[in-house]
Amino acid sequence: MAINKVFITGIEGFVGGYLLEELLNAGYRVGGLYYRNASVQHLNPYDIPLYPGDVSDRRENYWFSLDEFAPDAVVHLSAITFVPQANQDPLNTWQVNLIGTLNLLEWARQKKPDTKLLLISSGEIYGAPKDKHSLPFSEDSCINPQNIYATTKASMDMGAQQYITIWDMPIILARPFNHIGPRQSANFVTSAFAKQIAQIADGKKEPIVRVGNLSAQRDFTDVRDVVRAYRLLLQNVDTGVFNVCSGNPVKIQNILDILIELSGIDVDVQTDPERLRPIDVPQIYGSHQKITDAVNWKPQIPLKQSLEDILNWWKDNV
């Protein structure tokens, strides 16, 4: 079935804004659900159908918005994604990340089973590698989540695969690893560093950057590359599981060093115990070979360019 209308849950979020731009530029009609209390002023210029609601409660405008918009495809971004927040409120995280996804799956199964669903899982579901030979993670790697957020994503991922197996529904599961870019919340590491450095450069903060674990290695991809991957999957794939990642582990220390170099200022670096996670896997990175083979996708934006864009955005917004 040709896709003309795409519905985005969590459209107000970091990835949602970029995906909206990507899909509109490709000629799609787009609508979306945003959390009822969230600000959507930044989406006003796009003049698209927007619905307030709560994915964890299908009675609160969730199913109504899907019925009214009648999409050909849905990209499900709505989730609690910040690990400390998930750890502080596990019940709400389960409600949003698992029940919110099941509500979408049941809407499609009961009402419009030909709707293509792109569900956003996470590279964090792979957890800690058993040994160095377990890396990079492929789509066939064992699932071994290490925190509440990752466990909820693993559960929704496995649950969605049952809808593929039992009802042969057109469901795609994307497993993005760390994605970064301008406009990302300062809850996340690259934005946290860039915001502090921009504040220091502007004289609004003492020249100290507070950090967590700098030795961990993660797989970073620019959000603009990530949403391009989502569009290509929607256009070219009917079902399957796909990592979305750079394939390169980068030490958090290197991220900080590049940002400091780009800023041209001198700073002191201090460890903040509140930024340390109780469980922090030393190294995580994935393979994007499957999505490359399927839709000819590879990351295009270099890490240094991403970090420069993030820093410049914070300079304009501190």
Tell me: the pLDDT tens digits for 13-63? Answer: 999 999 999 999 999 999 999 999 899 999 999 999 999 999 999 999 999
Based on the fold, state whether residues 231 and 168 are members of the same structural domain. yes
* Nearest in space to 175 (alpha carbons), one of 255, 291, 26: 291
**57 and 26, same structural domain?**
yes
Grade residue 279 by pLDDT with cuts at 50, 70 and 90. low
Using one digit for the tens of pLDDT, what is the confidence trace for 163-217?
Answer: 999 999 999 999 999 999 999 999 999 999 999 999 999 999 999 999 999 999 9
pLDDT of residue 15: 98
Look at residue 281 in the predicted model and tell me its pLDDT. Answer: 80
Please tell me whether residues 109 and 18 are part of one structural domain.
Answer: yes
Residue written as tokens 């190294």?
Answer: 283
Mean pLDDT score of the chain, rounded to an integer?
96
Q: Which amino acid is at 272?
A: D
Do 202 and 312 belong together in one domain? yes
The reported pLDDT for the residue numbered 274 is 79
- pLDDT of res. 278: 62
DSSP 184: -
Expressed as residue numbers, the domain containing 69 is 5-180+220-247+286-301
- Structural domain tally of the chain? 2
If asked whether residues 147 and 171 sit together in one domain, one would say yes
User: What's the rounded mean pLDDT across residues 295-304?
Assistant: 98
Q: Which H helix or E strand runs over 87?
A: helix 83-88
One domain, residues 85 and 194: no
- Flag whether pLDDT at 1 surpasses 80: no
131 or 208, which is more confident?
208
CB–CB of 177/286 below 8 Å? yes
